[in-house]
Amino acid sequence: MEPNTVLYFGTFTISLGILVSAIKLFINYKAIKFSKRNPGFITRLTTSNQLLLLIRTIAIIVALLLVLTSLYKTKSIDIETTKEFESTDILFVVDVSLSMNAIDVRPNRLKRFQDLTLRLLPELKGNRIGIIVFAGQSFSFCPMTSDITAVSDYIQSLGVEMVGTKGTNLAVALERVEKIRKKNQNLQSNITVIVSDGEDHEKQTLPELQGEVMVWGLGTVEGGPIEFRDPSTGKGGFVTYDSNLADSPYSDNLIITKLNEELLESIATKYNGNYHNISFYADGAYSLVERIDTMKKNKMQRLEKFKQEDGAHPFLLLSLLFLAIERILSYQLQKSSPIKVFFVLFCFFSYNHYLEAWELDPGGNAIERGNKFYQQENFKESQKEFSEAKEYIKDDPRLMYNESANEYKLGRLKESKELSEKILTHPKSNAELKSKANLTLGNIYTKLGQKENALKSYVESLKHNPNQTAAKKNIEHLTKKQNSNQNQTNNRDQKSDEHQSQKPSEQNKEKNQNSKQNQTDIDRIMEPFSQDSILKNKRGGSIDNEKFW
């Protein structure tokens, strides 16, 4: 709303208030005079103290005038502040040669990348993202930025023929990547995502790259025709070998472009990276999010500018004071005791500079938010909330367990293991927490392939809580798997005995004895528990390890 409009409405409101107040004062004055002349009407007429009513009226009008004045005393001040955040640098190197318009991937290869990346962007929030496009030459299309909205606009603007030079020269694009990386040598957490169909790549020597590399392939081995449309006229068709356009994708003489998966895999191997074909499944793209979550982040600083409105505060505070006076006089005129109002106003004006927005239980609220993020599988945010809770809740094993379970979900097995071991030695840990910590350790050892340590941890979990169904099921799973492997080994040994001499047979017997010894160790570990009860409760499972304090 324009300031002049506010002024008009404000002036009208104040004028109307003055008129109504004047009429009220006049009526009250006449009523007092009439009551004095006619004592019999004193009990029938309701009047107010004329002086108090006048002061109350002046107070409310002055308060409104001060509010209106504050509008014209406001000054805008430009403020700059530096905000620190953690991020990973993600640089997309996108092939925009004509072959990326092939329709073997619907709607076409480049559109598939655009659609998939736009869905992926919310998961990449907080990281810096840049885009380099290439064909025969390359250029930086989107500078490194943490503005997801801007990146989204750049991605939607991608199109073939952005680069005038024909061909597919990946080496030139990667040299540009290396220049960008060298400018940011202090940033260790970075990943380069090469997006291409591998078609028409020239023989070239690829440069060395800093950081991690991921290769995304688009297209099919069978290939497909290339669709092209003139952006100015809208006319188009499918490209033929004689540089014309055919109306049908089944016409003769069409150029069929195929995915060169072998080349893309060799590029990924050269840089010790991973190759994913994202033409029809998004798993390869989302592996980027998983990898970034486990990478150590760069500490960055961002300069933020904003306008601060200043100059109106004195007028607004005075307005508040006059409104308080008006309220006090209103209680007095209503013959009510204003003691409560005086007390509240005294506290407010005496301790005004100490009042802040605060939570009754900031630590508990942070844990509750962390649990909610965990249930939504947003482990990155839940970890932030648990870290915030540590500022208010010191050295509590329950919070350690929350962090341990979260680290396990993020794939940080070392950190999760250290936290679980701290819980086991913590003096405040109860049997339930120790059971859960041992269960987490068992899961970690299982992932690391240390089955014997895993079995021991699951057994310890059951010692602290015999009803820990997840531990029982995991023990059953490990022992069944191990027994199955031993049986297969024994069968292979028995078959080989028919064709071997006595000496190899003795070696097989020795192997069998070792297998039996291993089985005896497992039985000893399982001895305190009944095998019959292991799978009775079907509702157990990994979710038992995700219950939070």
Task: Assess contact for 443 and 473: CB atoms under 8 A.
Answer: no
CA angle, corner 199, sides to 198 and 201, nearest 5? 80
Residues 462, 467, 471, 474, CA torsion sign: positive
Q: Cα(424)–Cα(403) distance, rounded to whole angstroms?
A: 14
Tell me the C-alpha distance between 411 and 480, whole Å: 26
CA–CA distance, 50 with 22 (Å, rounded to integer): 12
CB atoms within 10 A of CB 93: 24
Per residue in 235-269, pLDDT tens? Answer: 789 989 888 888 888 888 899 999 999 999 999 99
HSE on the CB side for 465, CA within 13 Å?
Answer: 21
pTM for the model: 0.47
Which residues have C-beta within 8 Å of that of residue 52, sequence separation ≥ 6?
Answer: 329, 332, 333
Answer whether 226's CB lies under 8 Å from 98's CB.
yes
One-letter amino acid identity for 508?
N
Q: Which helix (H) or strand (E) element contains residue 438?
A: helix 431-447
**How far is the C-alpha of 175 from the C-alpha of 205, rounded, in Å?**
10
Q: Bridge partners of 310?
A: 75
The terminus-to-terminus CA distance of the chain in angstroms comes to: 50
Total length of the chain: 549
How far, in Å, CA of 184 to CA of 144, rounded?
11
List helix spans (H) across 71-131.
109-120
Q: Where are the alpha helices (DSSP H) in 276-389?
A: 283-294, 313-333, 339-350, 362-375, 379-389
The two structure tokens encoding residue 534: 């292991």
Q: Residue 548 has which token pair?
A: 């939070």
CA dihedral sign of residues 153, 159, 163, 168: positive
Quick check: 243 and 222 in contact, CB under 8 A?
A: no
pLDDT given at position 354: 43
Pair type for strands 236-239 and 245-246:
antiparallel
Q: Which amino acid is at 375?
A: Q
Q: In what order do the strands lie in the sheet with 138-145?
A: 138-145, 128-134, 89-95, 190-196, 212-217, 274-277
H or E element, residue 144: strand 138-145
Q: How many CB atoms lie within 10 A of CB 402?
A: 23
Amino acid at 326: E
Identify the three-state secondary structure at position 312: coil
Query: What is the full per-residue pLDDT of the chain (549 aa) written as tens digits?
Result: 566 777 788 788 888 888 988 898 888 888 888 888 887 766 666 777 888 888 888 888 888 888 888 777 766 666 666 667 678 889 999 999 989 999 999 889 999 999 999 999 988 988 899 999 998 889 999 999 988 999 999 999 998 878 877 778 888 899 999 888 887 766 678 899 999 998 866 667 888 888 899 999 999 999 999 998 876 777 789 989 888 888 888 888 899 999 999 999 999 999 999 999 999 988 888 899 888 888 877 766 666 666 666 667 788 888 888 888 887 877 766 655 555 555 655 665 555 444 444 445 566 777 888 888 888 888 888 888 888 887 777 778 888 898 889 888 888 888 899 999 989 988 888 888 899 999 999 999 888 888 888 889 989 988 888 888 888 888 877 776 555 555 555 555 554 444 444 444 444 555 455 555 545 544 554 444 444 433 333 333 333 343 333
**What are the tokens at 489?**
């080994």
CA atoms within 13 A on the CB side of 487: 6
* CA dist., res. 264 & res. 40, Å (int): 106
Residue 281 one-letter amino acid = Y
Q: Where do runs of H (alpha helix) occur along 334-361? A: 339-350
- CA neighbor of 331 nearest in space, from 61, 43, 58, 49: 49
